[in-house]
């Protein structure tokens, strides 16, 4: 990994840690706790708790709601069912994990993956306060998911994939851990195809979820290269000129899945 990539990851980790401490200490601050980003809302787009219905917010501890500044509500688009196994990439303060746990019920499981100790501590406290029993928070990178292959029914994420320094690895890992027929339902920041990487960088920072965003075509091509199909990218609200909050959906093929060994790390066991 290049030094610049390491530095970006450390900036993201530091920002998440600062957000978690702010919420834990005084219930304030820019909380990237749903795995979200602290994005300047200059064009009227909605972020954080505003994207969750009042009844959803009522199910959660205050700290989980305060620690939310995602760009969408993946639990609203993932169509979760009783008994399913759900994985939230970049789970932050745990809002989407806790909501997912309620949806899949006691026979299902909700995993949250995050790289920041402070966010993991906040998420575990939030899950305890919410009385969520069927949740497990894992420490790790979304480029190296610490779960076995074919172990997850649904992968969700809230404004995190754009922060990765190796998005092909993230997409390959999503495909690896999904069971055949498993599905992806994430919220993310996506650029219009007309914007070059340089133009995206002019509109905001990597840590602010703007500069590192993929375009619509790049997102679709990356997921298809990783072995997913029926990919859709739907814009929901504008966050900057030519940049949008978006819902991304895809399904892992049930047959004829390409050999991804060259793309994916070896299957990992891991846990809670």
Report the pLDDT value the prediction gives residue 203, as an integer from 0 to 100.
86
Nearest of 208, 5, 182 to residue 79 by alpha carbon: 182
Q: What is the DSSP letter of 144?
A: B
Answer for the pair 233, 219: CB distance below 8 angstroms, yes or no.
yes
Please give the model's pTM, rounded to 2 decimal places.
0.79
Q: Is the pLDDT of residue 116 over 50?
A: yes
Question: What SS3 state is found at 42?
Answer: coil
Helix 95-104 and helix 117-130, axial crossing angle in degrees, nearest 10 = 40
User: What pairs with residue 178 in β-bridges?
Assistant: 152
Is the domain 3-252 a CATH 3.40.50.150 member? yes
Q: Across residues 159-178, what is the average pLDDT?
A: 95
Burial category of 172 from C-beta neighbours within 10 Å (exposed 0-12, middle 13-18, buried 19 and up) = buried
Q: How far apart are CA 66 and CA 95, in angstroms?
A: 9
Q: Is the pLDDT of residue 45 over 60?
A: no
Q: Which residue has the higher pLDDT, 218 or 21?
A: 218
Q: Across residues 247-259, what is the average pLDDT?
A: 79
Q: Which residues contact 196 (CB under 8 A, 6 or more apart)?
A: none
Q: What is the CB neighbour count within 10 angstroms for residue 98?
A: 27
Q: Is the pLDDT of residue 36 over 90?
A: no
- Greatest mean pLDDT among 42-51, 167-176, 196-205 lies in 167-176
């Amino acid at each position: 990994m290049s030094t610049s990539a390491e530095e970006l990851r450390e900036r993201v980790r530091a920002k998440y840690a600062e957000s978690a401490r702010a919420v834990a200490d005084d219930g304030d601050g820019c909380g990237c706790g749903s795995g979200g980003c602290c994005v300047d809302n200059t064009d009227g787009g909605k972020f954080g708790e505003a994207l969750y219905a009042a009844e959803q917010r009522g199910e959660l501890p205050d700290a989980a709601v305060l620690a939310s500044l995602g760009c969408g509500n993946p639990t609203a688009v993932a169509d979760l069912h009783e008994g399913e196994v759900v994985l939230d990439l970049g789970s932050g303060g745990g809002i989407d994990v806790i909501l997912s746990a309620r949806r899949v019920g006691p026979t299902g499981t909700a995993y949250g993956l995050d790289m920041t100790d402070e966010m993991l501590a906040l998420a575990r406290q939030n899950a305890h306060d919410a009385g969520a029993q069927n949740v497990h928070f894992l420490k790790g990178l979304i480029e190296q998911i610490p779960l076995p292959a074919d172990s997850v029914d649904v992968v969700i994420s809230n404004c995190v994939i754009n922060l990765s320094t190796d998005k092909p690895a993230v997409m390959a890992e999503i495909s690896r851990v999904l069971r055949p027929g498993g599905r992806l339902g994430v919220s993310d920041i996506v650029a219009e195809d007309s914007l070059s990487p340089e133009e995206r960088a002019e509109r905001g920072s990597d840590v602010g979820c703007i500069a590192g965003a993929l375009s619509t075509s790049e997102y679709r091509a990356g997921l298809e290269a990783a072995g997913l199909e029926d990919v859709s990218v739907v814009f929901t609200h504008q966050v900057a000129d030519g940049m949008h909050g978006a819902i991304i959906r895809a399904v892992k093929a049930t047959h004829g899945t390409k050999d991804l060994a060259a793309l994916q790390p070896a299957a990992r066991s891991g846990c809670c």
